[in-house]
Amino acid sequence: MDQYRAANRAKWDELVQPHLTSGFYSVDALRDGTRRLDPIVERELGDVSGLSILHLQCHFGLDTLTLARRGARVTGLDFSPEAITVARGLAAETGLDATFVEGDLYAAPELIEGAFDLVFTTWGTICWLPDLAGWARIASGFLKPGGALYYADCHPMAYVWDEGEGACTPATGHLKAKYPYFHDTAPTVLDDPDDYGSDHKTENTLTYEWAHPVGEIVTTVARAGLVFEFLHEHTEIAWALLPSLVQQESGLHSWPAGTDPVLPLSLSFKAVKPT
Ligand SMILES: C[S@@+](CC[C@H](N)C(=O)[O-])C[C@H]1O[C@@H](n2cnc3c(N)ncnc32)[C@H](O)[C@@H]1O
């Protein structure tokens, strides 16, 4: 494993326990059977009962197990051993049937057999991956003919904004670009103890991320042989990406009222493997 993945994995390992008890991740709702996916995915995904699903970068399996509760046969993959241990524990505790595989995204073809109706990957995914064409080929390779890749994540344009207090309010003219929009093989180095999902301050603060612009996402998915059914841009996102965002009743986070112009915060698509 290279230094980038080792550092990223150390941070992700450390975040699993804080996430287990944080309000952001609704573990109790999974336990009592009321947990839902976020509203964007709920709106777009449709019925999954009876489908075989591969959930890439599944973290500690909350969405994986939520899909299993809806009658899908689900396999979750993540490179964090801590996350996979907790995911298996939650599956045993809830009696939900899902398979969890520990491994790097790029090793998935050696670790997982078979083809799936749906490859599912959402919220905080490709920013951790240096090679997007490789990712798209792997996702496509796991699909049966007629199967689909479903993706929802931060809009590449929304990743560029300075998240410092007061630096990200378009209504007051303070939206300031800080991070790259276009891809560079050299990662963006972040040194940050903060966590989007809890108050925990991490000991592992260094992470390495890669920007992937919209054109690269669309082109790599198309070149991997998938045909777009839709690509949606949203003015809401599943987590508080910027301090000026306001949580809506739906639970999603959006720009404050009166923001003008309104810019995209997330992007989702479904792309199908031709029969
Ligand atoms: C923001 S979380 C995804 C959260 C997920 N949407 C969920 O259902 O909770 C990102 C995940 O990507 C995983 N990850 C990052 N780089 C990876 C890689 N190279 N291979 C596999 N998993 C990776 C991390 O361990 C982490 O669990």
For the segment 65-91, what is each residue's pLDDT rounded down to a tens digit? 999 999 999 999 999 999 999 999 999
Distance 58 CA to ligand 1 centre (A): 6
Residue nearest to atom 13 of ligand 1 (CA): 57
Residue 121 CA: nearest ligand 1 atom is 6
207 C-beta closer than 6 A to ligand 1: no
Distance CA 181, CA 160 (A): 6
Distance 21 CA to ligand 1 centre (A): 18
Predicted confidence at residue 171, as pLDDT, reads 64
With the most atoms of ligand 1 within 8 angstroms of its CB, the residue from 3, 78, 150 to mutate is: 78
Task: For residue 117, give the 3-state DSSP assignment.
Answer: strand
For the stretch 198-212, pLDDT in tens is 788 988 899 999 999
210 C-beta closer than 6 A to ligand 1: no
Predicted confidence at residue 75, as pLDDT, reads 98
Residue nearest to atom 14 of ligand 1 (CA): 57
Which strand (E) or helix (H) includes residue 4?
A: helix 3-21
78 C-beta closer than 6 A to ligand 1: yes
70 C-beta closer than 6 A to ligand 1: no
Kindly state the tokens that stand for 69: 């509760």
> What is the CA angle 131-44-255, rounded to 5?
80
Note every long-range contact of 141-145, with CB atoms under 8 Å and residues 24 or more positions apart, other chains counting: 141/109, 142/54, 142/108, 142/109, 142/112, 142/114, 142/115, 142/116, 143/115, 143/116, 143/117, 143/118, 143/119, 143/226, 143/273, 144/115, 144/116, 144/117, 144/273, 145/273, 145/274, 145/275
Task: For residue 242, give the 3-state DSSP assignment.
Answer: coil
Number of structural domains (the chain) is 1
Roughly how many angstroms between the first and final C-alpha of the chain, as a whole number? Answer: 36
Q: Which domain holds residue 177?
A: 3-272
Which is higher by pLDDT, 67 or 164? 67
pLDDT at 169 over 90: no
Rounded to 5, what percent of the chain is helix, strand, coil? Answer: 35, 25, 45
Distance 78 CA to ligand 1 centre (A): 6
CA distances from 2 to 7, 108, 123, 216 (A): 9, 17, 23, 24
154 C-beta closer than 6 A to ligand 1: no
Predicted confidence at residue 125, as pLDDT, reads 98
Distance CA 99, CA 64 (A): 9
Distance CA 16, CA 22 (A): 10
Which DSSP category does 144 fall into? E
CA distances from 23 to 90, 210, 246 (A): 17, 28, 17
Contact indicator for 239, 148 with CB cutoff of 8 Å? no
Distance 229 CA to ligand 1 centre (A): 25
Distance 95 CA to ligand 1 centre (A): 23
Residue 9 CA: nearest ligand 1 atom is 25
- Among all chains, which residue has been given the structure tokens 């890749």? 149
Q: Which residues contact 105 (CB under 8 A, 6 or more apart)?
A: 56, 57, 77, 79, 129, 135, 138
Q: State pTM to two decimals.
A: 0.97
Residue 13 CA: nearest ligand 1 atom is 25
For the stretch 173-231, pLDDT in tens is 678 899 999 999 999 999 988 878 778 898 889 999 999 999 999 999 999 999 999 99
Predicted confidence at residue 163, as pLDDT, reads 84
Contact indicator for 204, 10 with CB cutoff of 8 Å? yes
123 C-beta closer than 6 A to ligand 1: yes
**What's the CATH code of the domain at 153?**
3.40.50.150
Which DSSP category does 255 fall into? P
pLDDT at 167 over 90: no
Q: Which residues contact 30 (CB under 8 A, 6 or more apart)?
A: 62, 65, 66, 69, 90, 94
